[in-house]
Structure 1
Amino acid sequence: MSHAIGYFVHHQGRGHAERAAAVVNALDASCDVTLFCARTDIFPPLAANVRIQAIPSLFEPPAGHIDRPALAATRTPSTLHCAPLGWPSITSAVATITQWFATADPALFITDVSAELAQLARIASVPCVVVLQHGERSDPGHVAAYESALGILAPYAAALEQTDRPAWMLDKTHYAPGLGVPSTMPDRAEARDTLGLAHDADIVLVVSGGGGTGTPAPPLTIGARAEPDALWLTIGQIEHQWHETAPGNLRHLGWVDDPANYIAAADRIVSSAGDTTVHMIAAAGRPWIVIPEWRYFDEQVFKARALGKAGAAVALDHWPAHAAAWTDAWRRAALIDPADQRALVDATAAQGCARWLETLATHVSCEFSTPVRDAVQ
């Protein structure tokens, strides 16, 4: 059965776009899929039945925008997070989406992620699926989105679920571990050949995210200096400070096109707790230290704690400030079982998610007396 499915994709980083592409490419070709995003250049190749509708950003002021003090000072309801007044860009984005609601007769609208758009879909009488992220999400805005949703999509393993999720949320949650991330990684030797790295080198890889200011350099100088026979490589964004004194075995490579090869080539890994980063490292299976970066709602703090509780990584609350702290963290990381890490990634996550969404869409399109939750389990 043909279904019209809409999908809002946050344009920060690449993780949202990569998992959206994995899902929509796995949907039946009869589905008519529209992706709504502020950027059209961040997606992997998409199936023929998928189109991208560019919309203005919901989170950044339009070019040349000047805040009007009276509007900027207006209180924001507790059920909303990002809803500034007087932004024509948001007005335009919402109009584009609601016009699609009115003309497409959609079976589902998926949001990854915007609590406001989940509520908009409910107000517009359109069934919605909300992507769930880690963090402190018990505020009225997130709860309203989850309550409004027909289903909740968690792009991680149930083993990483937070203990504070209420039963009514879990009852309509579908877990898709490592959605959008390759479940297998390149061979270590092959990856080192590709990157021109020595096979006998002891390589520590530091993976920094792109959603903030980056990983601070001084703790890395301490760690690298304490291991003069190891090669420390960093990829991603690094925040340099005036007092750092980098040793010769620490190399900052910046943004790279093939992070999977660097992860596969590493003997040990230090990373932030971004979703794509976490699942790529879990798929590789390595001694692993995870240190959360600042994100809204403490998303990475909660994810790092979940990884530590699952025995997949050594989770630190802050960067080591002396060599002994690094030594202790590496000692604990050496005890991690790679099998526990690889169990957090499912090779069939995209296909399973697509079948779940198709079942929801079919149920919406038909008149069943069976509750939706029972129909999709």
Structure 2
Amino acid sequence: MSEPTEAPVRAWIEDGLGRLVLNRPRALNALTHEMVELLAAALDDWEHDPAVGAVVLSGAGERGLCAGGDIRAIHEDARTGGGQASTAFWRAEYRLNARIARYPKPYVALMDGIVMGGGVGVSAHGSVRIVTERSKVAMPETGIGFVPDVGGTYLLALAPGELGTHLALTGAALGARDALVCGLADHFVPSARLPAFLDALRGGSVAEAVRAQVGEAPPGQLEEQREWIDHCYAADTVEEILDRLLASGAPAAGQAAATLLTKSPTALKVTLAALRRARGLGPLERVLEQEYRVSSAALSSPDLVEGIRAQVIDKDRDPRWSPATLTEVTEELVARFFAPLGAGELALAADDFPQEVPW
């Protein structure tokens, strides 16, 4: 099959590999509904195709795999379209995330460069997740008045200690070593070795290719910060987390507190609740269903439109959150984000649930 060049997702088969390339480099490969559908169709086509032994996902351009969902489109839809296009996008996207996690063939994600938001969803649920020295992995949703989705609350809830809580609330970007520590990646391969890694995949097994090209990731930061992170983020409320961060004395804790104070107060409280609830929900599918409720509710929250406006549309970096303070975000307001959707629930199939859930 010849390699297509113009489609927003390039999909072709070569030497036993199903190749998927996100192909919107000018938009840092931000995901659209069309791209999600193209990815899902390729996975369906290749699942029982004997010509495909493994699937490899990468991104076009030099900057990274994927910067997330197309939040400009979400902003316009939430502002003028009633949110129907966004909920349809999320419904398809979250189904794709679950599909990737259950895919019966090796799904190799090259998480080189920027991997954020929706980019995490199409990569970090894969069976073989490769990071490089260029990787910057993040779930930065609280900065736009949103909550980590695409299975992000599932993945971050599984991170050691309270690392996931720190990352979800602050939106901090991880390098390769820290992504490995948090369980968002499996192997480090230097970016210069990626062509050789792909050659090895074409000529042999995934395990052999990994053994041939894997390297030692550069040092990270989170392992040495575990003491204050685990103590501060174990608190029951965002307010208490802030108090502990400010009292910690660790410079990095003070920086984290300053970062939290710039985020949407509503998004912070809903994110903390989503993470804590995710720990008891079981498999990924149940968490994605919760995330769909939260995302749908966010469309009617003023902070999502305002956050995208400030960060992406007008770029003044001065969002006016409503409510403006943590104390104004009541338990009742947070609970609205988790309200059942009735016939509108995501309702993912339960057939492939594992017998033992690693929580």
Q: Counting helix residues as a fraction of each chain, which structure ranks higher?
A: 2
Check whether TM > 0.5. Answer: no
For normalisation by structure 2, the TM-score amounts to 0.28
